[in-house]
Amino acid sequence: MQEVMWEAVKTCDAAYDGAFFYAVKTTKIVCRPSCKSRTPSQHNVKYFPMFSMAVQEGFRPCKRCRPDLLVIPNEEAIIQTAQQMIEQEYGSNLTLHVLAKQVGMSKYHFQRLFQKKVGKSSLVYLTDIRLGKARQFLAETELSITQIGHAIGYNSSAHFSVLFRKQVGCAPTQYRNQVRGDQS
Ligand SMILES: [Zn+2]
């Protein structure tokens, strides 16, 4: 593996960006494999699977290839995955614990990252998606309130009704009548 990584460093192979980082012991700088800086001597190179690990050992990010900025797309990808999961599996029991575990982060870090990237907590995001679906079901289907509650992940229809009233401003049945009344 060291040979493969060394080859990537020598050829500035961008395909390995994010797969690993390399640091130069003499300059105390950490780079992406694709960095166009002068190729260091092989015996001065140290490899890291993660950028943060190099920083922990005292290496500074290269100003030319900015390996510190490469961390951001990874965070974006994590949050996108979580959002997709919420959008597709809003009907199941998606707790913070489940979401954090799915993307391989601690609950604490996931919660903070999600809030930072999306502007609301994952729970609020999930509730928004669920209530959006509920409105759609109420307007377009003949499903009962209990069935809709189940379909969007609430086992108790009372809980669903209370939440709906709080967020939308009227009971689910009222909403259905209003929407249908407007349409006819
Ligand atoms: Zn660099």
Burial of 130 (0-12, 13-18, 19+ CB in 10 A): buried
64 vs 103, more confident: 64
Distance in Å, CA 112 to ligand 1 centroid: 29
Looking at residue 15, its pLDDT comes to 82
Question: For 47-65, what is the mean pLDDT?
Answer: 92
Sheet order of strands, 60-61 included: 45-48, 21-24, 29-31, 60-61
Residue 17: band (very low, low, confident or very high) from pLDDT cuts 50, 70, 90: confident
Beta-sheet pairing, 29-31 with 60-61: parallel
Of 10-24, 34-48, 63-77, 158-172, give the lowest mean pLDDT range: 63-77
Distance in Å, CA 45 to ligand 1 centroid: 13
Per-residue pLDDT reduced to its tens digit, 70-115: 755 578 888 988 999 999 999 998 999 999 888 877 888 899 999 9
- CB atoms within 5 A of ion ligand 1 belong to 31, 35, 37, 62, 64-65
Q: How far apart are CA 132 and CA 87, in angstroms?
A: 11
Q: Is 12 a catalytic residue?
A: no
Distance in Å, CA 79 to ligand 1 centroid: 27
Residue 2: band (very low, low, confident or very high) from pLDDT cuts 50, 70, 90: confident
Closest CA to 10 of 43, 30, 34: 34
Q: How far apart are CA 72 and CA 25, in angstroms?
A: 25
Question: For 33-39, what is the mean pLDDT?
Answer: 93
Catalytic residue among 12, 31, 62, 170: 31
Distance in Å, CA 30 to ligand 1 centroid: 7
Looking at residue 109, its pLDDT comes to 85
Distance in Å, CA 3 to ligand 1 centroid: 19
Report which secondary-structure segment, H or E, holds 145.
Answer: helix 145-151
Looking at residue 107, its pLDDT comes to 87
Distance in Å, CA 31 to ligand 1 centroid: 4
Per-residue pLDDT reduced to its tens digit, 112-168: 999 999 999 999 999 999 999 999 999 999 999 999 999 999 989 999 999 999 999
Distance in Å, CA 13 to ligand 1 centroid: 12
| Arithmetic mean of pLDDT over the chain | 91
Question: For 22-37, what is the mean pLDDT?
Answer: 95
Closest CA to 138 of 168, 112, 99, 113: 168
